[in-house]
């Protein structure tokens, strides 16, 4: 009988320890919320965005002090790594940057100098893609394309 109580007590302590460790570990394992400014850096302000279906958003940001655009794709619900991308291109200057891979929270940052120029940009999450052409050109109308593969 004494042995049974010892085993039960040890089991209860082990269960409490595992429960406490699991409760403490859960917040640490959750992906942190992020913003385009956290990804791109200080001085970048969001100037445009496009939703990627219901999965997330692609953000175009601009830093007036250095004339650079930055693009990042951020998931609404971070989790298991999925295929993601972020890209930016300035056709007039032939500058472009691209980031693609398996990510849990965001793709990017991607940078291109774009002061005074139209910007093409976009991104993807899983099999949903967004492309924006002729963006931030003053009075010219941009062209947006969203598709799935």
pLDDT at 23: 36
Mean pLDDT within 54-73: 97
Residue-wise pLDDT for 97-128, tens only, equals: 999 999 999 999 999 999 999 999 999 999 99
Pick the more confident residue, 2 or 98: 98
Above 70 in pLDDT, residue 22? no
Looking up tokens 């990510």 gives 103
Mean pLDDT within 35-53: 96
Taking CA atoms, 65 is separated from 44, 47, 116, in Å, by 9, 15, 13
């Amino acid at each position: 009988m004494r042995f049974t109580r010892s085993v039960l007590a040890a089991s209860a302590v082990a269960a409490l320890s595992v429960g406490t460790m699991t409760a403490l570990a859960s917040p640490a394992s959750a992906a942190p919320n992020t913003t385009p400014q956290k990804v791109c850096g200080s001085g970048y302000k969001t100037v445009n965005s496009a939703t990627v279906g219901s999965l997330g958003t692609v953000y175009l940001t601009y830093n007036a002090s250095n004339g650079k655009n930055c693009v990042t794709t951020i998931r609404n619900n971070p989790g298991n790594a999925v295929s993601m991308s972020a890209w930016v291109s300035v056709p007039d200057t032939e500058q472009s940057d691209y980031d693609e891979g398996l990510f849990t929270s965001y793709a990017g940052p991607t940078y291109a100098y774009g002061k005074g120029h139209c910007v093409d940009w976009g991104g993807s999450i899983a099999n949903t893609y967004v492309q924006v052409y002729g963006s931030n050109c003053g009075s010219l109308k941009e062209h947006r394309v969203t598709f799935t593969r």
